Structure 1
Amino acid sequence: MKLCEALLPGILCLSPPTSCTPLADDQKHWVIGQTVRTQSGPVSGHAASSAQNVSTYLGIPYAQPPLGNLRFAPPKPYHSHQHIDGSQFGHSCPQANVFGGATPPDTHGKNLTASGRAALDDLLQGYPGSSEDCLTLNVWTKPQFGEQGKAVLLWIYGGGDTIGSSSNPIYDGQYIADQEDVIVVTINYRINIFGFPSAPGYPTNLGLLDQRLAIEWVHSNIRSFGGDPSRITLFGQSAGGGAIDLYSFAYPSSPLVAGLIMQSGTTGLGAFTAETAAESWYTVTSTLGCGDNTTSAATQMKCMRSKDTAAITAAIPLINQPYGSAFFWPTIDEVTVFSDYPARLAAGTFAKLPLLIGSTDYEAGYHRTMGAVFNQYLPDAAWEGFNLYTFTCPAGARANASVAAHQPTYRYRYFGDFPELALTTEPPSRAYHASEVLPLFDTVAAMSNGAEVGGDLVRMGIYLRGAWGMFARDPAEGLTKYGWPRYGPERETLVRLGWKNGVGPNVGAQGPYDVGCP
């Protein structure tokens, strides 16, 4: 880790365990991008674009295409002996709008930086190659080096359960895999009406079921890529972090994973009641001529399964509000999503796993900026409440419950405020929602349009990847070796990441940030 030592002087830089066990014969003879046999079929890969020692496998199907009678239905496992060309990402799942509804963006006088304009473009561009045949995953690995049976980091993207894709260049897994000697997996799952349809009489939360099936696939197949199925850690941000929290309650006795990393997302993001969700479903079915709440469920579903994908997406209602909007969202079914999370937190009825959890210092910096572009404004106090009650307090409650359940728990607050990633010049966007994701994946360049990345931001990214890698390799104790204290609500154990744009485990009290929490 000479690079780490050079860029992070005075910080503990632990190399991945490259010599603790001899390389197995299959590792010694590993060829970059070699064909790997999986339950989905043999898949061939290629060298990563920058980290040439990393083998990349893209677009591996883990579920049958959710088409025809599988539209609006739980996913079915995919099994095949046909060769898979892993050189291209699979289709993105169909997208819907989040901000602005049909209102065109207004950037005049909004003081957007280059990063702010790039973030807006990313929000609006969609994924032109989208298709309902989108249930695929991607793997980055380098078995020829380092540890046998590598730890696995499995990423679940955010996007308000409305947008998002594993093909987004922000989520390129090669740099984490290369630096940290772990395997990185990213998955697609169905979103908006296709993932959370809430058709009365039919299963909902299909996107969450997609995630479970993808995790099962990784658990069953990752050994072929050099991974250890007993050391899978889920990590995700925003709706992805919320999905991981939902997962921990839905599968308390069979999580199939060893650790959880929730970045700016918990059950505190909320869920719809079945009644509320059904109203949105009927709005779309009525628009498409498939009936309303007086139509039989079977007749309505047959009609909806006959409609064109684009027509269904276009029928999703649009709304202007500063927080962004989603009409199709995780819905309470008392199977995958529950109505009583506070009681379940108190009772500890979640998967007993080590937890790394946190939020950014000013989550609203993103939503406030994007809302203003669509001329949607809220007073400062409303945004402070949004930060507190949507992110800070739920993260604290979840961390406290984990501690009460005697699980190794680590809590952070991210303060990194780097000029390369600022969204606006005035008001300052500060450490906004998702601002840690690009340095974590080392994909700042993907949003910077070739602009130079400063040393402080480079060092921050190296540090974040190191911390996440340490947790993945040893969820219980890895971060203590990185200088982190285990979280305790009565002690100064909050790790302030990026404090004054520095690196290292700057530790403070959580109390000042939790003021106002129940």
Structure 2
Amino acid sequence: MHLLLFMLSCFVVGHGSNAWSVSPPQRLSTRQLAGWSVGQAVNTTSGPVSGHGAANLTDVSEYLGIPYAEPPLGSLRFQPPVRYEGTTPINGTEFGPSCLASSITGNATVDPSVYANITVTPIAVGLMLEINEWADNQSEDCLTLNIWTKPQTGEEGKAVMVWIHGGAYVSGGSAVEWYNGQYLAGKEDVIVVSINYRLSIFGFPGNPLSRPNLGLLDQRLAVEWVRDNIGLFGGDPARITLFGQSAGGASVDLYSYAWADDAIARAFIPMSGTATGFGLPTNLTANANWFNATAAAGCGGFKDDHQRVYACMMGKTGEEIARNIPANTVADSGAGLPFGPVVDEAIVFSNYNGRKAVEAPMLIGNTHNETGLFRIMAPTIPESVLAAVNDNAFTCPAALRAAESVLQGNPTWRYRYFGVFPNMVLSVQPESGAWHTSEVPVLFNATPSDLLPDTPEEAAIGSYLRRAWATFAKDPYNGLTELGWPEYTTTKKSLVRLGYDNQTGPNLAVGNKYDSACQSIPVIVVSATTTVYSVSTAVIPSLADEVIPPSTLGVSGR
């Protein structure tokens, strides 16, 4: 199942401490904020960086391609990231390259005849062309981040939203135009940061001679950079929210466990991705993937001397390695994505059931028809399999994680996105619906309006999403409540349906309404006094709109 999920979705520093790594974060004074000039030079730990006005909102300062780690080249390939510190001026007016992706994400072809039973729209063709163009600029020297800020107006010490992109851990990058943060920053009075992290075999090598999960360590180092520098851009390092989608959403959730005692971030938004939803392979599986790739690169396999294999891979160019990764790299384990997070019991764990996560509010959810995208990518996959992927990789993991967050006493909100708009429709027969990633360009106000203009409903829902996400980031304990969102429980009308019938605002459903395929979800009840009750795992009750009395659930106070 997870191998299938990878095949479909690929188309689309160690633990820290509370001590500041460089020096305590600095903040701009009121006078400095009032005198802010768009794109002015900012003296960061990476060096002085100059930006410019964002393309569409020119009063928003945009800083692009800021290095946060040393280039992972030479002896740093396949090694944990090293903090970048410099004094050379940085021209922050262009995005840095995306990290090298697996060749299997860019070289796949599909026989047009397989679409005989699917009515694909011209919009889908245009979207696929845009997706392919995103991979044009790639390099191993890719560990950069981008900032959008408007410190001259609004709050002093703004909330900060750090975006982690998706792409099945093998593709994507912060330069994707769907992730441009200018509208969130300019209209919602927050700072938006987007980051690159190593992908595929470079970020998750499975090499038995080096540490796993390098891409996750990259993400952590980027968050540390934000903590240490964002005050100079008008942000508050104590008000950081992590948000991401797909593999980025899973990364956000993994982070919440990996650094539970030193999270830096104070709120989390995993979108269409959780720590466990895509499976987590063991080191044995990761090693098999590594040696499949080394053999394909001409460096030998598992039976050869591992040091020599590693030395050979170090001698290859990054492009040679990426180009030669075989499409069948995934070991037949039934779990995990190729070159994705692997269980190491340090930052990725074998058992998340009851594991302590960061004590922080969470907003979590997914789209109504995630596999509407995957049907276009692999049109021969049976509908029954696609339905199972929708439940097993997205809906049920979101339900479980939301329940776990509530049980740990964290304010939690759960959403489900339904929006369907003409310029985001991939197929009309069968209907693509609210497909995997379809909410992202709406959230960032980056829909393909060049292909077809936004409808008024689409624009309104996009504005509402930005307001809701930013409100949560500004006040993760009370903000959404003030917007009319109830905290999540499984037994009351607390699931917030977004874009339902393309209407703006929250539309409420019983918390477990879409969870019938999920076998065991904790039943969560929150009393009127907000006391959280924990319960033993139970089979999901019926989807009738009724409140199940706590007395029937074996509830124990907590």
TM-score using structure 1 length: 0.90
Change (3 A) 1:389 1:173: same
Q: 1:38 aligns with which of 38, 44, 64?
A: 44
Aligned position for 2:62: 56
For residue 84 of structure 1, the aligned residue among 90, 95, 99 is 90
Question: How far does residue 105 in structure 1 lie from its aligned partner after superposition?
Answer: 5.3
Q: Give, in angstroms, the shift of residue 39 of structure 1.
A: 0.2
Counterpart mapping for 1:103-502 below 5 A: 103-104=109-110, 106=112, 109=116, 110-267=118-275, 268-319=277-328, 326-341=337-352, 343=353, 346-347=354-355, 349-372=356-379, 377-444=380-447, 447-502=448-503
Q: How many angstroms does 1:470 deviate by?
A: 0.2
Partner Cα separation in structure 2 for residue 176 and residue 508 of structure 1:
27
* Cα distance in 1, alignment partners of residues 415 and 104 from structure 2: 28
Q: Any idea what SS the aligned residue of 1:511 has?
A: coil
What amino acid is aligned across from residue 194 of structure 1 in structure 2?
Answer: F
| 8 Å Cα contact 1:248-1:255 kept in structure 2 | yes
1:142/1:177 contact within 8 Å kept? yes
Partner residue in 2 for 1:508? 509
Q: Equivalents in 2 of 1:103, 1:414: separation in Å?
A: 30
What is the TM-score of this pair, normalised by structure 2? Answer: 0.84
The residue that corresponds to 1:16 in the other structure is: none
Please say if residues 145 and 195 of structure 2, whose CA atoms lie closer than 8 Å, have aligned partners that are also in contact. Answer: yes
Partners of 1:319 and 1:121 lie apart in 2 by 25
Which of the numbers 72, 93, 107 marks the counterpart of 1:66? Answer: 72
1-side partners of 2:106 and 2:201: how far apart? 18
Deviates more, 1:458-467 or 1:412-421: 412-421
Cross-structure match for 2:23? none
Q: Given residue 86 of structure 2, which amino acid in structure 1 is its aligned partner?
A: S
Q: Distance in 1 between matches of 2:451 and 2:123?
A: 11
Structure 1 contact 354–408 (Cα < 8 Å) conserved? yes
Q: Distance in 2 between matches of 1:128 and 1:462?
A: 30
Q: In the TM superposition, what whole-angstrom CA distance separates every residue of 1:275-315 from its partner, at most 9, and x where no partner exists?
A: 11111111121222322223333322221111011110111
Comparing 280-289 with 161-170, greater Cα deviation is found at 280-289
The answer to whether the 8 Å contact 2:292/2:329 transfers is: no
Cα offset for 1:223?
Answer: 0.2
Contact conserved, 1:231 with 1:257, CA < 8 A, in 2? Answer: yes
1:101–1:320 CA contact under 8 A, matched in 2: no
SS, match of residue 396 in structure 2: helix
| Contact map agreement 1:195 1:206 (CA 8 A) in 2 | yes
**Worse-matched range after superposition: 296-305 or 387-396:** 296-305
CA distance in 1, matches of 2:266, 2:76: 31
Question: In the alignment, which residue of structure 1 is the partner of 2:6?
Answer: none
Distance 1:47 1:469, change over 3 A: same
Query: Does structure 2 conserve the Cα–Cα contact (< 8 Å) formed by 1:152 and 1:227?
Result: yes
Q: What is the match of residue 10 of structure 1?
A: none
2:551 paired residue number = none
AA aligned to 2:30 is: A
Larger relative contact order (CA 8 Å, sep ≥ 6): 1
Asked if the contact 1:97–1:163 (Cα under 8 Å) also holds between the matched residues in 2, the reply is no
SS at match of 2:161: strand
* SS of 1:197 mapped into structure 2: coil
**Match of 1:218, SS?**
helix
Give the CA RMSD over aligned residues. Answer: 1.9
**Partners in 2 of 1:244 and 1:352 — Cα distance?**
14
Q: How many angstroms apart in 1 are the aligned matches of 2:65 and 2:382?
A: 44
- Partners of 2:337 and 2:146 lie apart in 1 by 27
Whether the aligned pair in 2 keeps the contact of 1:23 and 1:146 (CA below 8 Å) is no
Unaligned residue ranges in structure 2 (runs of 5+): 1-27, 520-558
After alignment, is 268-277 or 108-117 more displaced? 108-117
Match of 2:32 in 1: 26
Give, in whole Å, the separation in 2 of the partners of 1:493 and 1:137. Answer: 36
- Per-residue displacement from partner, 1:382-439 (whole Å, max 9, x unpaired)? 2111111111111011001111111110000111111221011211100111111011
2:434 maps to amino acid: A
Instruction: Give distance in 2, aligned partners of 1:476 and 1:98.
Output: 42
Question: 1:63–1:135: 8 Å Cα contact kept in structure 2?
Answer: yes
Between the aligned partners of 2:272 and 2:108, the Cα distance in structure 1 is 28
Paired residue type of 2:305: S
Change (3 A) 1:123 1:237: same
> What letter corresponds to residue 338 of structure 1 in structure 2?
F
- Give how far 1:68 is off: 0.2
Cα 1:296–1:515 change in 2 (3 A) is same
Structure 1 residue 450 displacement after superposition:
4.5
Distance (Å, rounded) in 2 between the aligned partners of 1:129 and 1:413: 34
How far apart, in 1, do the equivalents of 2:205 and 2:193 lie? Answer: 26
* Unaligned residue ranges in structure 1 (runs of 5+): 1-21
Distance 1:231 1:175, change over 3 A: same
Which residue identity lines up with residue 115 of structure 1 in the other structure?
I
Contact 1:99 1:370 (C-alpha < 8 Å) held by counterparts: no
**Amino acid in the other structure paired with 2:68:** Y
Kept after mapping to 2: 8 A contact 1:156/1:187: yes
Please tell me whether the aligned partners of residues 161 and 240 of structure 2 are also in contact (alpha carbons under 8 angstroms): yes
Cα distance, 1:292–1:98 mapped onto 2, change above 3 Å: closer
Report sequence identity in percent: 46
> What is the alpha-carbon distance in structure 1 between the residues aligned to residue 106 and residue 471 of structure 2?
40
Contact 1:23 1:147 in 2 (8 A): no
- Measured in 2, the distance between the counterparts of 1:114 and 1:474 equals 41
Deviation for aligned residue 1:490: 2.1
| AA in 2 matched with 1:48 | A
Following superposition, the deviation at residue 23 of structure 1 comes to 8.3
Higher fraction of strand: 2
Query: 1:98: how far off?
Result: 5.4
Deviation, 1:120, is 1.8
In structure 2, distance between residues paired with 1:475 and 1:64: 33
The 3-state SS of whatever aligns with 1:493 is strand
Structure 1 CA distance for aligned equivalents of residues 134 and 146 of structure 2:
20
CA contact (8 A) 2:105 2:170 kept: no
Aligned residue type for 2:340: W
- 1:18 corresponds to: none
CA contact (8 A) 2:329 2:338 kept: no
Residue aligned with 1:37, SS? strand
Per-residue deviation, 1:57: 0.2
Please report how far the alpha carbon of residue 158 of structure 1 lies from its aligned counterpart in structure 2 after TM superposition: 0.3
SS in 2 for 1:316: coil
Kindly state the Cα deviation for residue 126 of structure 1 after the two structures are TM-superposed.
5.0
